[in-house]
């Protein structure tokens, strides 16, 4: 395969991702030093054209998370930036949201930034995220950058010309100021005094939050764990959706009798939480909590989520908070862009959030920032404590999910996108013939609602990138999940390239 095709294959939506380290059987290195250098050089050229500046006038920040391949990939990124005559700023260990904010802060105001991260993926993976003042790069823009990368050579430069920037301190102080302003406490310097907060950083880049934010504001952080950066991720996968990770935080909160637990992914663009009684605040409950916090400031506004959220969340948002629930396509860029679109046309939408924990607020540059979500939770917790209330009271009327399941069915053919599209078309036609309720509008896949013998819903959709068709099912009573799954399986009969065997589990 030619170089330009290999480089194009490194695109994963709006990010670059690939295997950066050897050591996993069957996984050859794809994100090489050379490709990292060339892709960065292409970004610099693209950014110069976008901003109307010369390459030598650009200031570009470079940061990374705790991955083992971070140092040698960062070296190649910096070489490419300097090799084109732009100024390179080494931000060291950073978070993805901080790298965007480096374009905003008066102390920095860079023209562009590059974050070296692969989020929660295994230790041997890594990637690149690019930012301009407009936010994260769009998929089409990255495609253009990768095309340029296929045409240019790697660059060399004197690394001593790089400029150091202690970005994480600037970012942490900004978070502190936001918390102080939000709480408006008589104790300006220690507004979190009296709150016990446990943080699980998963050995990613989020450990700074304990000392530089919570500690500065007077919180008790005893029991916080896995704060040291370690790209082996020895304790658990740094992913709030990972069961082992959430159980680790739940245990820490209960053992230490904390008021709240916070957990971040590797590069801190996602977050989930645990309440004092050990209950998870993730997926639907995290969305409900954030919406409840925002509702007084943005009454009757629209909350945008991905497509797999529960009907119970819709009921809470619409009938308890009197907000509008707009389910949209999965993919954090998709929900963020839809939020921007609605606000641009005059429909107030303060929050775009996925069940994965990616949450972006209009008031925070539409940036998916796990630390900023944590800031909003901390402000709400402090204000609730002041009124002798609990954070839990914000979502006490959210009905719990009774039972749910997710199945990922493989599509075993080369043109999987066309095959999946046909499956969805036929699936909807068969559902209507059976008299099942097809939920409209649907911005992704086909959603069915069931009442009577089986009560709940099912959503069949195509994966954004993989040859798979995920099926999400939720039942409201004992056995409803299985009943709904069986009905879906009947609707999928005859598709010999779709592996429906997983539905028998």
Of the candidates 480, 474, 379, 489, the residue with the CA atom closest to the CA atom of residue 434: 489
Residue 402: per-residue pLDDT: 94
Does residue 258 register a pLDDT over 90?
Answer: yes
Neighbours of 488 (CB within 10 A): 22
Question: What value does the mean pLDDT take over residues 98-123?
Answer: 97
Cβ neighbourhood burial of 93 (10 Å; 0-12, 13-18, 19+)? middle
Distance of CA 289 to CAs 80, 97, 123, 253, 363, Å?
43, 21, 32, 19, 17
The pLDDT tens digits of the residues spanning 312-326 come to 999 999 999 999 999
* Parallel, antiparallel or unpaired: strands 15-19 and 125-132: antiparallel
pLDDT tops 80 at residue 311: yes
**Does residue 3 have a pLDDT over 90?**
no
**Is the omega angle on the peptide bond into residue 129 within 30 degrees of 0, that is, cis?**
no
Identify the pLDDT of residue 505: 73
- Distances in Å between the Cα of 408 and the Cα atoms of 64, 168, 447, 488, 500 are 32, 38, 16, 13, 9
Q: How many angstroms separate the CA atoms of 437 and 428, rounded?
A: 10
What does the DSSP 8-state code read for residue 319?
A: I
For 327, the 3-state DSSP assignment is: strand
When pLDDT is averaged across residues 28-39 and rounded to a whole number, the result is 98
Residue 453 DSSP one-character state: S
220-238, pLDDT tens digit by residue?
A: 999 999 999 999 999 999 9
Nearest CA-CA partner of 200 in 241, 253, 243: 253
β pairing state of 403-410 and 59-64: unpaired
Query: Mean pLDDT across the stretch 149-158?
Result: 96
pLDDT score, position 379? 98
The mean of the pLDDT values for the chain is 96
* pLDDT tens-digit map of 171-186: 999 999 999 999 998 8
Burial 20-43, CB ≥16 within 10 A → b, else e: bbeeeeeeeeebbbebbbbbbbbb
CATH of domain 3-165: 3.40.120.10
Q: State how far the Cα of 174 lies from the Cα of 40, in Å rounded to an integer.
A: 29
Q: Which residues contact 146 (CB under 8 A, 6 or more apart)?
A: 7, 8, 10, 11, 16, 39, 42
Helix-strand-coil split of the chain, %, nearest 5: 40, 20, 40
Average pLDDT of the segment spanning 277-289: 96
Nearest to 80 by CA among 49, 117, 46: 46
Examine the pLDDT at 216 and tell me if it is beyond 90: yes
d(CA 169, CA 176) in angstroms, rounded, equals 11
Can you tell me the distance from the alpha carbon of 79 to that of 37, in angstroms, rounded to the nearest whole number? 7
142 pLDDT higher than 80: yes
* 63 DSSP β-pair partners: 92, 115
Per-residue pLDDT at 1 exceeds 80: no
Tell me which CATH code domain 170-395 carries.
3.40.120.10
* Strand segments (E) across 373-482: 403-410, 437-438, 446-450, 456-460, 468-475
User: Order of strands, edge to edge, in the sheet holding 280-281?
Assistant: 197-200, 260-264, 271-275, 280-281
Q: Where are the alpha helices (DSSP H) in 326-367?
A: 332-344
Among 201, 202, 493, which Cα is nearest to 212's? 201
DSSP reduced 3-state for 292: helix
Does the pLDDT value for residue 466 go beyond 90? no
pLDDT tens, residue by residue, 468-477 = 999 999 999 9
* Model pLDDT for residues 417-459, shown as the tens digit of each residue: 999 999 999 999 999 999 999 999 999 999 999 998 899 999 9
pLDDT in tens, 73-97: 999 999 999 999 999 999 999 999 9
CATH 3.30.310.50 spans which residues of the chain?
Answer: 403-504
Q: In which residue ranges of the chain is CATH 3.40.120.10 found? A: 3-165, 170-395
Topology of the domain covering 403-504: TATA-Binding Protein (3.30.310)
d(CA 428, CA 416): 18
pLDDT confidence of 465, banded at 50, 70, 90? confident
**What residues are paired with 428 via a beta bridge?**
none
Residue owning tokens 């053919």? 413
């Amino acid at each position: 395969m030619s170089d330009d095709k290999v480089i194009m294959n490194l695109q994963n939506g709006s990010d670059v991702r690939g295997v950066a380290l050897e050591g996993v059987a069957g996984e050859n290195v794809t994100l090489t030093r050379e490709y990292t250098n060339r892709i960065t050089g292409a970004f610099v050229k693209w950014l110069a054209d976008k901003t109307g500046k010369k390459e030598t006038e650009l200031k570009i920040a470079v940061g990374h998370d705790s991955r083992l391949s971070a140092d040698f990939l960062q070296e190649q990124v910096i070489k490419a930036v300097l090799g084109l005559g732009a100024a390179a700023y080494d931000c060291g260990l950073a978070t993805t949201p901080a790298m965007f904010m480096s374009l905003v802060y008066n102390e920095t105001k860079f023209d562009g930034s590059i974050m070296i991260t692969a989020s929660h993926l295994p230790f041997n993976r890594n990637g690149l995220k690019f930012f301009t003042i407009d936010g994260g790069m769009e998929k089409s823009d990255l495609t253009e950058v990768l095309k340029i990368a296929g045409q240019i050579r790697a660059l060399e430069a004197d690394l001593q010309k790089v400029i150091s920037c202690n970005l994480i301190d600037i970012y942490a102080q900004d978070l502190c100021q936001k918390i102080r302003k939000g709480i408006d406490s008589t104790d300006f310097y220690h507004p979190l005094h009296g709150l016990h907060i446990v943080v699980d950083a998963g050995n990613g880049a989020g450990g700074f939050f304990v000392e530089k934010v919570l500690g500065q504001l007077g919180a008790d952080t005893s029991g916080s764990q896995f704060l040291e950066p370690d790209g082996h991720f020895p304790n658990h996968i740094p992913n709030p959706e990972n069961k082992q990770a959430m159980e680790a935080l739940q245990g820490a909160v209960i053992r230490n009798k904390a008021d709240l637990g916070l957990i971040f992914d590797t590069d801190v663009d996602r977050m989930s939480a645990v309440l004092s009684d050990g209950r998870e605040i993730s997926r639907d409950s995290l969305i409900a909590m954030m919406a409840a916090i925002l509702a007084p400031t943005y009454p009757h506004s629209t909350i945008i989520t991905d497509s797999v959220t529960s009907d119970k969340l819709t009921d809470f948002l619409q009938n308890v908070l009197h907000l509008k629930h707009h389910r949209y396509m999965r993919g954090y860029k998709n929900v963020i862009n839809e939020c921007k679109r609605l606000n641009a046309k005059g429909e107030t939408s303060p929050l775009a959030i996925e069940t994965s924990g990616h949450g972006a607020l209009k008031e925070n540059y539409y940036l998916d920032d796990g630390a900023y979500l944590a800031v909003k939770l901390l402000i709400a917790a402090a204000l609730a404590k002041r009124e002798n209330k609990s954070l839990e009271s914000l979502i006490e009327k959210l009905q719990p999910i009774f039972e749910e399941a997710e199945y990922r069915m493989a599509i075993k053919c080369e043109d999987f996108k066309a095959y999946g599209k046909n499956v969805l078309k036929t699936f909807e036609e068969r559902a209507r013939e059976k008299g099942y309720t097809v939920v409209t509008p649907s911005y992704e896949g086909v959603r069915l609602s069931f009442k009577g013998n089986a009560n709940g819903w099912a959503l069949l959709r195509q994966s954004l990138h993989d040859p798979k068709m995920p099926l999400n099912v939720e039942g409201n009573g004992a056995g409803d999940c299985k009943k709904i799954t069986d009905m879906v399986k009947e609707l999928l009969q005859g598709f010999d390239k779709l592996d429906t065997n997983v539905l028998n589990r």
